[in-house]
Amino acid sequence: MKRLSAFVSRLCSWFKSQFTSRHLLTALIEGGRTLIAILIAYLVAFAVIGFVSDDPEMAIRWFVFGPLSSPTEFGEVLKNATPLLFAGIAACLIIKGGNFNMFTEGAFYAGGLIAALAAIYFDLSGILAIIIPLACGTLAAMLIGYIPAKLKAKYEVNEFVSSIMFNFIVMWIGVWLISNVVIDVTSGDNATAPIPDASRLRILFENTNVTTGLLIALGVAVVAYLYMFRTRFGFRLRMTGDNKAFARSVGIDVGRAGVSSQILGIGVAGLGGGLAILANYHRFNWKTLPGFGFDGFMVAIIAKNRPLLVPFAALFIGYLRSGADLMAFNTDVAQEVVQIIQGLILILVASEAFFSSAWFRGVIAKRMFRRKQLAPVGGVDDHA
Amino acid sequence: MTMREFLQLFATPEFYAMILQLATPLVFAALAALVSNKAGVLNIGIEGAMVSAALAAALFSTLTGSAMLGVLAGVFAGILMGLFFAFCTVRLRTNHILVGIATNILAAGLSVFVVYAITGNKSDYPGIAMTPWNVPLLKDIPLIGEVFFTEVNPLVYLAIVAVFAVRFLFRRTVLGVRILAVGKNEAAAASVGISTDRVKTIALLIAGGLAGFGGAYLSLGYMSSFNTGMVAGRGFIGIAAEAIGAGNPVATALFAVLFGAVNAFSLAAQTFPSFTIPYELLNTLPYLTTTAGLVIYSVIRYRKLHPRLAKKEIKQ
């Protein structure tokens, strides 16, 4: 009982600290900035659609309102958001550790392939039929991802370039496997044998493709938050990412922190790949990289690298995707317009100068807190 | 494949001509990486610049009926991407890597989008190939003439010229020295009156133009159409070549040629009927060698930077 009350009071003080006026103001500013970025990106996209489409109004209607038109369509949004959620969490972990390891892309591929193979060839039953393949996929991705991460920590091999090379290597080996070694000729395609029913994830809502994978994804987001912000490992990770020299000088093993952040991120991506395959595919048949790695970085940036905001960012991108799919299906505009939006949002949100909090604060301060703001301005004492 | 066939592969002039073809885009990409790196910017957007340049070149070559104008359009597109990159990093002060990722996403999406809007398919757009050059007299030299002076795309020569032009830029011109100064220490450069923003922008524009040549070569020289995914990580391989070349244009170009050679080998080996390694695995070769080269270079650099640490490790 005592522990409970202590917990409640801690919770209260946490909420209080989160919602004091200053925090709230910053949050509002940052949120407003993201909204403006999204708005600008949308306007550009509409202009592009208007330029290429014969019936822009119809296209835009499908694009914006299509995903919300029925529960089935909204299910597609959730389905699209699930792998993005994993990718976003993965990118959060990696970016917060101060690295740009792009192997999340290859991890999705490797995780998906290994999970599919484990599901097919181990032929398990019950809950094990899901857990074991996922664990295999995750571990395989982590093992491969360890190489660029360790090389970066030890010899300062540029992890960005090496991880991209690893992506291509993993992809080609995977394509070789599914078109020669584990190919199921009866499928009429370069694909594995069908994934057994026991390993397929259960559908959550009727008439949709939303599976239990979504719940696992949300769980991963919460766990990642707790890890990053409530454990000493997470603290070391963030410290290393923020200021490596400082972290080293206070005795943090920066090499280990960097490697572990990348490995964990890649593991999350591998899990996401495995879940994506078990949830939505009958066979593993990816012949190109799925692209979730790069998308993950975008999701993480939109979510300001906060694991608990990642689900919302992923939901938004998932909504964009399903809208674009519907638009491409029903009108003459290709769904790639979504990549234009994504690229623009990424740049504007990540920009330090574009409607920065400092800029916003200046405007708001002038309007609302003029009296407060006037006193210290220009005061030399500030620096004393 | 017997040893003899293997050696035969290396004896044919076609193989060396293929190296030349495959190395050219890599050399351009590597030089683009070099110029931006000298200005202190890790330019990952090269890949995207090459994609958009390849598309623009193909588009304008068929539009105007002239391959040369197509190449110019490609270079212009590359420069535009450079300008975009510069605007985002210099003006909006966005993280370089994120801008690079965004540029690549944008270019990949936009190219498919444009191709689809024009043709209704999403994979390719035809272009008019450049006419290759035959250099009189020189082409009659055995082997060398066959490789370097028969049916060679003019952009191949331009790539060689560009290597030395970049070398000249950094050794003999004011702009080059300014770029170096900005890259080495931005604050110091600013303190002696260099407009760092402008110098950075110019460097990124040059890099964009170089990447543009690489992209235009891909769609109008190496092939005669734009295909989505035709750049296939060449921009990144160029960045790796630059990293291994340690800022020296000639060394950078040589490493780019090495990666081109591996690429040529992986392609040539696929055409050998008796060669049993499946093509999917051969396709990993360029990426494997790039990684290996990067690792070897980094290890050597590490040993140089930390001689005492390295010795201790050897003892253990």
Asked if B217 and B162 count as a contact pair (C-beta separation under 8 A), the reply is: no
What residues form DSSP beta bridges with A211? A203
Q: How many CB pairs under 8 A join A and B?
A: 145
Q: Which residues of B touch A288 (CB under 8 A)?
A: 229
- The pLDDT assigned to A377 comes to 42
For B228-267, the pLDDT digits (tens) are 888 888 998 899 888 888 889 999 999 999 989 988 888 8
> How many Å apart are CA A288 and CA A7, to the nearest integer?
49
pLDDT band at residue B309 under the 50/70/90 scheme? low
Please report where in the chains the tokens 């990696």 appear, as a residue: A94
Burial class (CB in 10 A: 0-12, 13-18, 19+), B137: exposed
Amino acid of residue B39: A
Q: What are phi and psi of B130, to 5 degrees?
A: -70, 150
Give yes or no for B280 touching A (CB within 8 A).
yes
Amino acid of residue B205: L
Across the interface, whether the CB atoms of A151 and B295 are under 8 A apart is answered: yes
What residues form DSSP beta bridges with B124? B227
Mean pLDDT computed over B44-63: 92
Q: What is the CB-side half-sphere exposure of residue B217 using CA atoms within 13 A?
A: 25
Amino acid of residue A379: G
Which 190-209 residues of chain B touch chain A by CB within 8 A?
none
Please report where in the chains the tokens 């959550």 appear, as a residue: A204
- The pLDDT assigned to A384 comes to 32
| Residue of B51, B97, B96 whose CA lies nearest to B200 | B96
Secondary structure class of B152 (helix, strand, coil): strand
The answer to whether position B36 is within a domain reads: yes
- Mean pLDDT, chain B, whole residue set: 87
Instruction: Give just the sign of the alpha carbon dihedral A98, A100, A101, A104.
Output: positive
Q: How many domains does chain B have?
A: 1
| Residue of A276, A294, A229, A222 whose CA lies nearest to A114 | A276
Amino acid of residue B200: K
Rg, Å, chain B Cα set: 20
Please report where in the chains the tokens 């403006």 appear, as a residue: A36
The answer to whether position B242 is within a domain reads: no
- The pLDDT assigned to B308 comes to 66
For B94-131, the pLDDT digits (tens) are 888 889 988 998 998 888 888 888 887 877 888 888 88
Nearest residue of B to residue A51, measured between CA atoms = B117
Asked if A49 and A333 count as a contact pair (C-beta separation under 8 A), the reply is: yes
Residues 6+ apart with CB under 8 A from A370: none
pLDDT band at residue B211 under the 50/70/90 scheme? very high
Across the interface, whether the CB atoms of A347 and B102 are under 8 A apart is answered: yes
The answer to whether position B152 is within a domain reads: yes
pTM of the complete model: 0.85
> How many Å apart are CA A325 and CA A315, to the nearest integer?
15
The beta-carbon neighbor of A351 closest among B44, B88, B290 is: B88
Asked if B219 and B54 count as a contact pair (C-beta separation under 8 A), the reply is: yes
Task: List the domain boundaries for chain A.
Answer: 77-314
ipTM of the prediction: 0.85
DSSP calls for A231-244: SHHHHHHHHHHH-H
Please report where in the chains the tokens 């892309």 appear, as a residue: A105
Asked if A109 and A176 count as a contact pair (C-beta separation under 8 A), the reply is: no
More confident position, A320 or B146: A320
What residues form DSSP beta bridges with A343? none
- Express as a percent the part of chain B with pLDDT over 90: 40
The secondary element (H helix, E strand) that includes residue A219 is: helix A213-230
Q: Which two three-digit tokens encode residue A76?
A: 């597609």
Give yes or no for B281 touching A (CB within 8 A).
yes
The secondary element (H helix, E strand) that includes residue A322 is: helix A310-330
A49, A94, A113, A168: best mutation site toward chain B, by most B Cβ within 10 Å? A168
Amino acid of residue B74: G
Number of H helices, E strands in chain A: 16, 0
- The pLDDT assigned to A185 comes to 79
| Residue of A63, A46, A76, A71 whose CA lies nearest to A331 | A63
- The pLDDT assigned to B56 comes to 94
> How many Å apart are CA B110 and CA B55, to the nearest integer?
10
Give yes or no for B149 touching A (CB within 8 A).
no
For A337-351, the pLDDT digits (tens) are 888 888 888 888 888
Alpha helices in chain B (DSSP H): 3-11, 13-38, 46-64, 67-86, 96-119, 144-148, 154-172, 174-184, 186-191, 196-217, 234-245, 249-271, 279-283, 285-305, 307-315
Across the interface, whether the CB atoms of B287 and A155 are under 8 A apart is answered: no
Please report where in the chains the tokens 């489409």 appear, as a residue: A53
B247-272 b/e with 16+ CB inside 10 Å = b?
Answer: eebebbbbbbbbbbbbbbbbbbbeee
Give yes or no for B97 touching A (CB within 8 A).
yes
- The pLDDT assigned to B313 comes to 57
Across the interface, whether the CB atoms of A346 and B239 are under 8 A apart is answered: no
Amino acid of residue A21: S
Give yes or no for B119 touching A (CB within 8 A).
no
Mean pLDDT computed over B22-49: 93
- The pLDDT assigned to B2 comes to 63
**What's the gap in Å between the CA of B160 and the closest CA on chain A?**
25
**What's the gap in Å between the CA of A219 and the closest CA on chain B?**
27
Question: What distances in angstroms separate CA A237 from CA A242, A243, A269, one per listed residue?
Answer: 9, 10, 18
Positions of chain A with pLDDT under 50: 371-384
Q: Which domain holds residue B151?
A: 13-232
| Residue of B292, B238, B226 whose CA lies nearest to B42 | B238
| Residue of B79, B80, B83, B92 whose CA lies nearest to A347 | B92
